[in-house]
Amino acid sequence: MKKNQLKRKLRNVILILSLSLPITMLAQESPKLTDPEIAHVGVTANKIDIGYAEIAIKMSSNKDIITFAETMKRDHEGVIKQAVDLVTKLGVTPKENNVSSSMLKDAEEMKKKLKSKKGEDFDKSYINNEVAYHKAVIAAIRDILVPQSNNQELKDFLNAILPALETHLKHAEMVQEKVN
């Protein structure tokens, strides 16, 4: 039993580290991101979570997982719409960059891993990923994207979505406890 628990913990740590890497790239490499690049990173982060949610809605039969995933899809789609409205208003065109490209590449790997799993194994992988992902995105927004943003409205928007992400994290942790 102890050996299995240790294996599970080690797997979770590896998962968190592999997920956090593209986001922590921001801190380690610290290229100065322009507002168009920040906008692109923000939209990409939302799109990635929508992608994960769509897989969960299709593949899980756990009610808590599906309800959570539906909330993620709805909320992140709503945030993208408001982000697009804002950048349109500001005349900012989101610009692809190394950070967002790396996030997308790693997300594709994660999606492949999720699709290879079934049943409870899938549910655990999905929700563990959601906990780690939301922690990483919250840290990136608070510590990197907001401070680096030059436009006050963009800063305000990023700050405005933080409570939603923190609630998502708490919800994910609640589901994680049930599922694990």
Q: Exactly one of 119, 167, 178, 180 binds another protein (CB under 8 A); which one? A: 167
Please state the closest distance from residue 172 (CB atom) to another protein, in A.
11
From the list 17-25, 28-36, 117-125, 161-169, the region that binds another protein by CB under 8 A is 161-169
Nearer to another protein among residue 35 and residue 75 (C-beta)? 75
Which string of DSSP letters, residue by residue, matches 55-109? Answer: HHHHH---HHHHHHHHHHHHHHHHHHHHHHHHHHHHT------HHHHHHHHHHHH
How far apart CA 67 and CA 53 sit, in angstroms, is 10
From the list 96-104, 118-126, 130-138, 170-178, the region that binds another protein by CB under 8 A is 170-178
- Does 73 help bind another protein (rule: CB under 8 A)? no
Cβ atoms of 151 and 90 within 8 Å: the answer is yes
- Does 164 help bind another protein (rule: CB under 8 A)? yes
Q: What end-to-end distance do the CA atoms of the chain give, in Å?
A: 14
Please state the closest distance from residue 162 (CB atom) to another protein, in A.
9
Window 42-71: residues binding another protein (CB under 8 A): 71
Q: Which long-range contacts (CB under 8 A, 24 or more apart) does 3-6 make?
A: none
How far apart CA 107 and CA 130 sit, in angstroms, is 12
- Does 84 help bind another protein (rule: CB under 8 A)? no
Structure tokens at 80: 């993208």
Please state the closest distance from residue 23 (CB atom) to another protein, in A.
21
Residue ranges in contact with another protein by CB under 8 A: 71, 74-75, 78-79, 82, 160-161, 163-164, 166-167, 170-171, 174
